[in-house]
Structure 1
Amino acid sequence: MNNSPIVFISHSSKDKDRFVKCLTEQLISRGIDAWYDDWELEFGDSLIDIFDKGISKCDVFLSIISKNSIGSNWVKEEFDAGFVKKIAGETKFIPIILAEDNIELPSAVHHIRQCIIDDISNYDIKFEELVKDILGISKKPPLGNPQYFNDEDMIVFKKLGDYCLDEGFDYIFDPYKVSEICEKSDDELAEYIKALEEEGYLKDERENVGGAFTSKSITSNGFYHYFTSYVDGYNEIYKNLINVIYGLNLFSFDEIIEEMNINKNIVLGLISYFKDEGYVNVYRYEITQITTKGKRYFKKFICD
């Protein structure tokens, strides 16, 4: 089923070859269902179909504002129809300003954030922003976790996380190993370990085997905090992994690790985090399903 938003492009016929046809083709190539009169209307169709079949059904209304459209009565009728739908909350209204025409903008768009294109022959960056806005993809990076700990807590936590970069984030630390890694006694470590456990970054793995605390491992939430706090380029890694899983439909852990070409334990840690957050289902070494919750979340980060 195609869930792409329907986009209506209001424009002057004089801007078709100059800009609009190319824009429409780009949107179509990105999976966006753009309603373009030259493609939708056949010989003999009524031009009123533009309103009945185009504007009335669109989810997003793009208004191309140029020196050609600003004086067009027909474009004004489309503009007004699209703006009424915006006011009714039935469509997203995006003015696209061809700035090189140096025109006075309609007063109705002064309060709306506009997509301003300075050069119609080179607008790749602005186009990517437009695609994200049409699809409702957030431009914000994933939110890191706030720190409620003191510096010594985080020194201990970072040392454990650094160790797991080599051993895997499912590694089980016994008290003696923690003491060795952190170069502290069990008694010195007890308070730090308790603080990290209470915040949900560490969890019990076995019954008490002696020492000041039981064996622990890093939780998926703890991994995510380590990842966003101490891994360089975490934002790009996060988005790239989502694109590999969602966009390329690679579900085998080995395939995903090969495609990512980074430390495999970071990839496996993120997959474990996605599983615990309910974004994917996992069996053995394969993602068996991206959940509905996962699809909705991942869509915020999908890009080509």
Structure 2
Amino acid sequence: MAKFFISYSHSDKTFALQLRENIAKIDNAHDVFIDQYGLHVGSKIKTALIKKIEWCDYFIIILSQNSIKSKWVQFELNEARRSEIKCGEKKLFAVHLDHSELPKHLVDYLVLDFTVPGNFTANFFRLMNGIYQKPTHYEIEYSVKNDTDTGYLFNMWVSCPLDFLHQIELVEYRFDYEFDLEAGSYNLKKIDGPVHIEKSAKRKFGVYDLWTSESITVFVCIYLKNTRAVYFRKYIEVGRHVN
């Protein structure tokens, strides 16, 4: 069972209910919060909304001319972004009902286009496919280049939106290959934070110009300020697809 929160303007209520009903059809055990059903009379609205946003696994915002003008939708969006940063996992997903301008906070997000009438079913399953994958906002990227006839140089780094870079305290890279043993460094490199992060930069906490003569596996652990850790396993193949 998954927990959903749908954020919308009441002017788009028909679409919101259609979305809710289709999520329930996939699995009737799913718990979908929508204010028509969720908030009890007399609740302290902001407090209740924050709790529901923290509670949900997936936050879906319905974007339209109506919703971008709604102070409540804006409030919910801001809280959803805070919740994402806190947990380090992607929970915010957006659908676009018209050609209204996207909020600046959603520039780094994939927004599904629901503007064409009659395409609801196809777009709905694209949305759910993206939701079930639930990727983290943190990714480990790398590049490999020729060094000598006997080996290769490679670089690895953390790639994520700027807001998430600021949440990193430490990144550890552990290799199944020995690097620079004479210097006493065995299979482990640590990159401490915080570092000065320029607004334009999305690649930080990297290890650079490491040498290898064979394909290797790297285990990466990102330690976040909220004490949560994110783990990756990367296989780096050398000898093919060299940059």
Structure with a larger share of its residues in helix: 1
**Structure with more relative contact order (C-alpha pairs < 8 Å, separation 6 or more):** 2
What is the TM-score when the length of structure 1 is the normalising length?
Answer: 0.40
- Structure whose CA Rg is larger: 1
- Of Structure 1 and Structure 2, which has the larger fraction of its residues in strand? 2
Relative to the length of structure 2, the TM-score reads: 0.50
